[in-house]
Amino acid sequence: INYTPPITYITAPSVARAAVLKESSSLPEDMPQIKGYDFNQGVDHRALLQSFLTTGFQASSFGQAVQEINKMIEKRLEPVQEEQESCDSHSSASGCTIFLGYTSNLISSGVRESIRYLAQHRMVDVIVTTAGGIEEDFIKCLAPTYLGEFSLKGKELRQQGINRIGNLLVPNDNYCKFEDWLMPILDQMVLEQKTEGTHWTPSKMIHRLGKEINNPDSVYYWAYKNDIPVFSPALTDGSLGDMIYFHSYKNPGLVLDIVEDIRRLNSKAVFAKSTGMIILGGGLVKHHIANANLMRNGADFAVFVNTGQEFDGSDSGARPDEAISWGKIRMDASPVKVYADASIVFPLLVAETFAHNAARLIKEKNSD
Amino acid sequence: INYTPPITYITAPSVARAAVLKESSSLPEDMPQIKGYDFNQGVDHRALLQSFLTTGFQASSFGQAVQEINKMIEKRLEPVQEEQESCDSHSSASGCTIFLGYTSNLISSGVRESIRYLAQHRMVDVIVTTAGGIEEDFIKCLAPTYLGEFSLKGKELRQQGINRIGNLLVPNDNYCKFEDWLMPILDQMVLEQKTEGTHWTPSKMIHRLGKEINNPDSVYYWAYKNDIPVFSPALTDGSLGDMIYFHSYKNPGLVLDIVEDIRRLNSKAVFAKSTGMIILGGGLVKHHIANANLMRNGADFAVFVNTGQEFDGSDSGARPDEAISWGKIRMDASPVKVYADASIVFPLLVAETFAHNAARLIKEKNSD
Amino acid sequence: INYTPPITYITAPSVARAAVLKESSSLPEDMPQIKGYDFNQGVDHRALLQSFLTTGFQASSFGQAVQEINKMIEKRLEPVQEEQESCDSHSSASGCTIFLGYTSNLISSGVRESIRYLAQHRMVDVIVTTAGGIEEDFIKCLAPTYLGEFSLKGKELRQQGINRIGNLLVPNDNYCKFEDWLMPILDQMVLEQKTEGTHWTPSKMIHRLGKEINNPDSVYYWAYKNDIPVFSPALTDGSLGDMIYFHSYKNPGLVLDIVEDIRRLNSKAVFAKSTGMIILGGGLVKHHIANANLMRNGADFAVFVNTGQEFDGSDSGARPDEAISWGKIRMDASPVKVYADASIVFPLLVAETFAHNAARLIKEKNSD
Amino acid sequence: INYTPPITYITAPSVARAAVLKESSSLPEDMPQIKGYDFNQGVDHRALLQSFLTTGFQASSFGQAVQEINKMIEKRLEPVQEEQESCDSHSSASGCTIFLGYTSNLISSGVRESIRYLAQHRMVDVIVTTAGGIEEDFIKCLAPTYLGEFSLKGKELRQQGINRIGNLLVPNDNYCKFEDWLMPILDQMVLEQKTEGTHWTPSKMIHRLGKEINNPDSVYYWAYKNDIPVFSPALTDGSLGDMIYFHSYKNPGLVLDIVEDIRRLNSKAVFAKSTGMIILGGGLVKHHIANANLMRNGADFAVFVNTGQEFDGSDSGARPDEAISWGKIRMDASPVKVYADASIVFPLLVAETFAHNAARLIKEKNSD
């Protein structure tokens, strides 16, 4: 065991020592040190979430996303100069126009309640989602979605008429109820098109449906009430499309134009004082908001929450820095991507930003 | 070192032995054994790719995808009964209608050449892609895309007017060239709408652009030539939308209707003898094809190639088994998902399926 | 526009209607409905985290993980029968032996403070980690780790002697300090081996280092104090190995035996009343704990938190259900995997389980 | 429809036009253009794989990995100066020492045959793997592994004694056969330790097992024959550990020392002329090879193939650029990471590098 190594062995690893024990330059003094939450303080959730900033990895990204969204909120509350307001009818009255985008599954999930809260209190200015992101909100007003498991067998579910969305279950009857609700509205829309020359676009249809649902649980009811435009250019890609398709055999002729909507969406970006993007998930909703913000040479603030990765060259997985190359985010912005399932992260983000801020404002008001 | 353990130690791990050395029931005799390629045979790429089926993990999924696509091709070549053909003008003349979907980035990449090959030789029947999946094909006819790196800095790229798509680079001048090409066509489209009452839809516009580009490198030139419908309901979500937006200030009025297209797409599925779906990537293209196939109570064959995961409940990452619960894939189908970047997998899939089959048919013809 | 479709069109989509509007069987009455947190209630973090159970996707998995860990804690507190305790010196005095595993990066991050809390209050019974998971804890007692960015350039960092771990930065000087601290201890270990016949194993070395660091910030100081064994069979795979390698030229002969440790670890599982596994990350730490639990025909409770996916056949990404096939988790268990970066999820899990429970116990005591 | 927009609308989007139509600087003339394979040439697999370099995304990474490995091979074949060879017994006789690492699952899969080919023809110099990466090779010499499905239920499999590894199935009887084979060897090892003072390390044990298996299908048979050292510091973490654990009750005393092995591994890096790393998967195998290469101030060449991502700060998912910050890869190297399941990519890499090169050398020899 007490083996004596040959002489070359003794001298040789000096290379190794030099490599391993290389000296370091000093780091800036104000660089944050990594330090997690100390539970010996007890369970103070807010302090815990604030400690995320110095916890590293995605916890730090969460902390940075909180800061970025709070910058949007602060900017949004800045007083807008009278002059500007009066001359330019297209300019936003808000100091920062916040674009919120999310994929359909988040409306199917309980993240819907967080989104509804933002729409209800007019905390965001523009919404972009997919067809499912629209219809699932209305369907949930008609019948509930349930918690299941990711591993339930498709064949058995189909035999029972139960649709699976990840670990959620939606009885197919919910879609039958949706048909019952939607068909008369489609009739009415066709009638208005024919008689009043209404030029329907996806955003106008969503506005109308939000009015019709007349239910405070609905995101789009509040978007309607608060006049928050909701864009969904591929509105036919889902149950709404199925119904429009069926309806077209009974009462053909409905036209949904996407040109007017792109103009309306782009104008929201072009005429904004500043803009912030909060985008949950990838695909169309991410690209559509970012592309609109290219029209103003980039968003000022951006938070992406998704699980996509850049290696396959998808827009969904692209880091915010790719959007900077396109002019979709400003060169001097500090965009944040949180790599996480939004079902965990978004409610926590809302808690530390919009909802916290609302509570703070109420408190300030009351103490006046 | 020669430690004698106490008596309890000696008897106790019988539990462990029983757990570790549990006997197994016998497996079916025809179960494939895992065996990889033996390079002592030399480098025979085709044999290597065939060995993937028994290599396990995604290599096996690749092998299963080859089989699934070859089933589509075989079915597609089956003779269609005369009778059916004559009475029903909407039924497809093909034994299997193949829906091909892909995200924009794949057209930006060299996967475009594989897709173009399929369109050129009319090997697929319906195409669904995003706005970028359309415009990037035309832009590549005007100027090239380059190979860069994922880590190039967005700010420096923006300063130089170079757009990044993963590790690809597209000079912004390419988009200026695209504008020059597109604007007169948009003028013409508006004119035709006004004078001839043309009811434009995204698929009609793509057909027209395919005609106008008149370039055999273009996917949509061949789609036009071979009358393969191409659906892209959110056609305004990209450079095409930017141009349509600019154009609307000079020459307003263009209408792009998505209702007629959903009817056309759904009919492709409803009236097909059987259908196969080949979907590269997630988001709109995956959902749109699958939803159309719900209209026929499910596709008969399906191959998904993407990097999405199911855990976040996204449609993009959902396993094919989720689509079975919805009736988008038949209960008795054997759909395959390959978890991989399509840039590696799709050209190899085409090699072992469509292109191999074409070579085989030519050889058979020549030997007659 | 008011196009009248041909007759076949009108009748045909009945297939489509039947497929889309398939009736559903009723779901069990007690199935949880999806419902997210309502911020109109104000920001109540605990209620928010409790609402995760019915939020869907990984939020629900988080909620299930809270339940699973609370079951471990409850079981662990169950009184153990006197009789058993007296006869069998190897049986655990606790009703549930909790195995905690984590990868090195989590010690580098602020998750270390959550782990230290668990060790300090003896809330877990066995720890398994990698070499880095050991040494980084000691190094942090000598000098801090900083928050940087994922995109900092490796070349520039190396020139400055700054090491990157994701978005963390560790000055190389920290490793020089570690060498200064460690070398005399290694001398002493070799001496004890030679003079007292100490049979060193990784777990014994970690125990000794925990004693030597004598710092309440250290996880392994508390593991030493509370006699929690820490296993790390590949203890040479990191800075500790570098130092042992250098040291072997000055003072050769140290032996680190991994056989005695596997026996010790397996005994922890075999002689436990019941066991729970909490595993953060993949690789060795996941496999090592699960393999030890095979020795008892499976753990009773299990929570995995990681970002791995199953498609590549890795043990890291395997779902808990794969471990059931091996007998590493009991067939009747309800293991939970949370697909997430542990830096966000683990502190929140500790808040809702160990720390909440500790606060509850203190409150109960005080109210007596 | 022929809506005339107000005047502000007409002038305003000039911002948008400027942002969208920003001019670009010219790119270097030699920058590769993106161009995929043209199947009109027929199916030429080698040309297809060569076209990957200009296909973009991971296809380009694959092409770069082929180049990087071919650089290793070329360097390895460079003649080594006589002088150096004679004076320094520790220096490698090869111009480039290639370290190959892989996780256990790849030995379970058909990738094993590619690895076996490399060992058989002594194409790599050092191997690092996990315990499972050792034992599964021997077990496959005793009984086969089968192709199953990822979704098979763990409970049913356990009841039948069938273990699942991703979509592979291993009957538990295979492990019983392994015990029968291993136990007498362990007896012999203990005997040699006691009588001859053999100082066992994991690498020595693997060498011995490779000799004992005496089967040309085995990777470690060839490693033994060709004197390729195989390192696996946590060799007890798997079935080998189970058997060593059981054996320790019958015939205690075996010592497996990991200190001698770290010295041996590090020396392989320190005394190499140049080094290349080929690492499939993450965890211990990735870190262990990279850490050894730190001892020489970095590897000259590196190829990583894995599915890990950097966002969680794991070493498994870290980009090669992180290893540069640590001095594990040289600052002037061009390391490549391919984000892919190795079951697809590694056999193709071997085809285009080691195997192609071997075929070329044979052809050149024959033509002399």
Q: Which amino acid is at C38?
A: D
pLDDT, position C94: 86
Flag residues of chain C having pLDDT under 70.
1-12, 81-92
Q: Which amino acid is at A174?
A: N
pLDDT, position C82: 53
pLDDT, position B90: 55
Name every chain C residue with its beta carbon within 8 A of the beta carbon of B18. Answer: 297
Pick C256's closest partner by Cβ from D130, D153, D257.
Answer: D257
Q: Quick check: A307 and B317 CB within 8 A?
A: yes
pLDDT, position D91: 55
What percent of chain A clears pLDDT 90, i.e. is strictly above it?
88
∠ Cα C273 C279 C281 (to 5°): 165
Distance from CA of D117 to the nearest CA of C (A): 22
Please give, one letter per residue, the 3-state secondary structure of chain A.
Answer: CCCCCCHHHHHCCHHHHHHHCCCCCCCCCCCCECCCCCHHHCCCHHHHHHHHHHCCHHHHHHHHHHHHHHHHHHHHHCCCCHHHHHHCCCCCCCCCEEEEEECHHHHHCCHHHHHHHHHHCCCCCEEEECHHHHHHHHHHHHCCCEECCCCCCHHHHHHHCEEEECCEEEECHHHHHHHHHHHHHHHHHHHHHHHHCCCCCHHHHHHHHHHHHCCCCCHHHHHHHCCCCEECCCCCCCHHHHHHHHHHHHCCCCCCECHHHHHHHHHHHHCCCCEEEEEECCCHHHHHHHHHHHCCCCECEEEEEECCCHHHCCCCCCCHHHHHHHCCECCCCCCEEEECCHHHHHHHHHHHCHHHHHHHHHHHHHHC
pLDDT, position A2: 46
Taking any CB pair shorter than 8 Å as contact, residues of chain C touching chain B are 1, 6, 8-9, 12-13, 15-16, 18-20, 22, 56-58, 61, 88-90, 151, 199, 266-267, 270-271, 294-298, 309, 311-313, 327, 339
Please give, one letter per residue, the 3-state secondary structure of chain B.
Answer: CCCCCCHHHHHCCHHHHHHHCCCCCCCCCCCCECCCCCHHHCCCHHHHHHHHHHCCHHHHHHHHHHHHHHHHHHHHHCCCCHHHHHHCCCCCCCCCEEEEEECHHHHHCCHHHHHHHHHHCCCCCEEEECHHHHHHHHHHHHCCCEECCCCCCHHHHHHHCEEEECCEEEECHHHHHHHHHHHHHHHHHHHHHHHHCCCCCHHHHHHHHHHHHCCCCCHHHHHHHCCCCEECCCCCCCHHHHHHHHHHHHCCCCCCECHHHHHHHHHHHHCCCCEEEEEECCCHHHHHHHHHHHCCCCECEEEEEECCCHHHCCCCCCCHHHHHHCCCECCCCCCEEEECCHHHHHHHHHHHCHHHHHHHHHHHHHHC
pLDDT-based confidence at residue B329 (cuts at 50, 70, 90): very high
Q: Are B245 and D13 in contact (CB under 8 A)?
A: yes
pLDDT, position D87: 45
pLDDT, position A82: 53
Please tell me which residue of chain D has the smallest CA distance to A59: D312
Instruction: Say which range, B71-80, B230-239, B311-320, D294-303, has the weakest mean pLDDT.
Output: B71-80
Q: Quick check: C236 and D258 CB within 8 A?
A: yes
pLDDT-based confidence at residue B245 (cuts at 50, 70, 90): very high
- State how far the Cα of C324 lies from the Cα of C299, in Å rounded to an integer: 9
Pick A155's closest partner by Cβ from B258, B331, B342.
Answer: B331
Q: Which residues pair with B128 in a beta bridge?
A: B101, B231
pLDDT, position A86: 43
Distance from CA of D180 to the nearest CA of A (A): 31
The subunits that touch chain A, with at least 3 C-beta pairs less than 8 Å apart, are B, C, D
Report the residue count for chain A. 368
Could you tell me the two tokens for D68?
A: 């990087």
Please give, one letter per residue, the 3-state secondary structure of D8-77.
Answer: HHHHCCHHHHHHHCCCCCCCCCCCCECCCCCHHHCCCHHHHHHHHHHCCHHHHHHHHHHHHHHHHHHHHH
Q: Which amino acid is at A129?
A: T
Q: Quick check: B20 and D242 CB within 8 A?
A: yes
pLDDT, position A183: 96
A27-34: average pLDDT:
94
- State how far the Cα of D50 lies from the Cα of B318, in Å rounded to an integer: 32
DSSP-derived secondary structure letter, C40:
G
Q: Are D150 and D166 in contact (CB under 8 A)?
A: yes
pLDDT, position A20: 92
Pick C167's closest partner by Cβ from A56, A109, A245.
Answer: A56
Could you tell me the two tokens for A128?
A: 């972009």
Write the pLDDT tens digit of every residue in A268-294: 999 999 999 999 999 999 999 999 999
Name every chain B residue with its beta carbon within 8 A of the beta carbon of A316. Answer: 282-283, 316
Q: Which residues pair with B170 in a beta bridge?
A: B163
Q: Are A128 and A229 in contact (CB under 8 A)?
A: no
DSSP-derived secondary structure letter, D277:
E
Q: Quick check: A9 and D90 CB within 8 A?
A: yes
Query: Is D3 exposed, middle or buried (CB count within 10 Å of its CB: 0-12, 13-18, 19+)?
Result: exposed
Query: Does the pLDDT at position A6 exceed 50?
Result: no
Taking any CB pair shorter than 8 Å as contact, residues of chain A touching chain D are 1, 6, 8-9, 12-13, 15-16, 18-20, 22, 56-58, 61, 88-90, 151, 199, 266-267, 270-271, 294-298, 309, 311-313, 327, 339
B99-128: average pLDDT:
98
- State how far the Cα of A164 lies from the Cα of A158, in Å rounded to an integer: 9
pLDDT-based confidence at residue A131 (cuts at 50, 70, 90): very high
pLDDT, position D82: 53
Query: Does the pLDDT at position A81 exceed 90?
Result: no
Q: Which residues pair with C303 in a beta bridge?
A: C278, C336
pLDDT, position C365: 85
Name every chain D residue with its beta carbon within 8 A of the beta carbon of A1. Answer: 199
If one counts every other C-beta atom within 10 angstroms of the C-beta of residue A74, the result is: 12
Pick A167's closest partner by Cβ from C46, C56, C350.
Answer: C56
Measured on CA atoms in the order C143, C149, C150, C152, is the torsion positive or negative? Answer: negative
Q: Which residues pair with A303 in a beta bridge?
A: A278, A336
- Catalytic, out of C328, C337, C363, C365: C328
Task: Phi first, then psi: give them for residue C215, nearest 5 degrees.
Answer: -140, 120
3-class SS shares of chain C: helix, strand, coil, % to 5: 55, 10, 35
Please tell me which residue of chain B has the smallest CA distance to A339: B312
pLDDT, position C366: 85
Name every chain C residue with its beta carbon within 8 A of the beta carbon of A38. Answer: 113, 117
- State how far the Cα of D80 lies from the Cα of D95, in Å rounded to an integer: 6
Name every chain C residue with its beta carbon within 8 A of the beta carbon of A144. Answer: 33-34
Distance from CA of D32 to the nearest CA of A (A): 17
Torsion of Cα atoms, D150 then D152 then D155 then D159, to 10°: -120
Torsion of Cα atoms, B15 then B20 then B26 then B32, to 10°: 160
Pick A282's closest partner by Cβ from B248, B283, B313.
Answer: B283
Query: Is A330 exposed, middle or buried (CB count within 10 Å of its CB: 0-12, 13-18, 19+)?
Result: buried
Q: Which residues pair with B303 in a beta bridge?
A: B278, B336
A117-139: average pLDDT:
98
* pTM of the predicted structure, to 2 decimals: 0.96
Q: Which residue has the tokens 């509850």?
A: C360
When the pLDDT of each residue in chain A is averaged and rounded to a whole number, the result is 93
Q: Describe the strand order of the beta sheet including C126-129 as a list of residue ranges.
A: C230-231, C126-129, C97-102, C275-280, C301-306, C336-339
- State how far the Cα of C170 lies from the Cα of C107, in Å rounded to an integer: 12
Distance from CA of D270 to the nearest CA of A (A): 7
Residue D177's H or E segment, with its range, is helix D173-196
pLDDT, position A80: 75
Distance from CA of A70 to the nearest CA of C (A): 16
- State how far the Cα of B14 lies from the Cα of B82, in Å rounded to an integer: 72
If one counts every other C-beta atom within 10 angstroms of the C-beta of residue A41, the result is: 12
- Counting one residue from chain B and one from chain D, the pairs whose CB atoms sit within 8 A come to 314
B292-318: average pLDDT:
98
- Counting one residue from chain C and one from chain D, the pairs whose CB atoms sit within 8 A come to 238
Flag residues of chain D having pLDDT under 70.
1-12, 81-92
Distance from CA of A204 to the nearest CA of D (A): 15
Q: What does each C-alpha distance from D115 to A12, B61, D142, D343 come to in angstroms?
A: 32, 21, 18, 11
pLDDT-based confidence at residue A365 (cuts at 50, 70, 90): confident
Q: Are B116 and B220 in contact (CB under 8 A)?
A: no
Residue D255's H or E segment, with its range, is none
Q: Quick check: C341 and A58 CB within 8 A?
A: yes
Chain D interface, mutation test: which of B9, B17, B39, B158, most D Cβ atoms within 10 Å?
B39
The subunits that touch chain D, with at least 3 C-beta pairs less than 8 Å apart, are A, B, C
Residue B309, CB-side half-sphere exposure with 13 Å CA sphere = 22
Q: Which residue has the tokens 């349509």?
A: B244
Q: Quick check: A325 and B162 CB within 8 A?
A: yes
**B13 alpha-carbon distance from chain centroid:** 54
Q: Quick check: B344 and D58 CB within 8 A?
A: yes
Distance from CA of A266 to the nearest CA of D (A): 9
Active site residues of B: 328
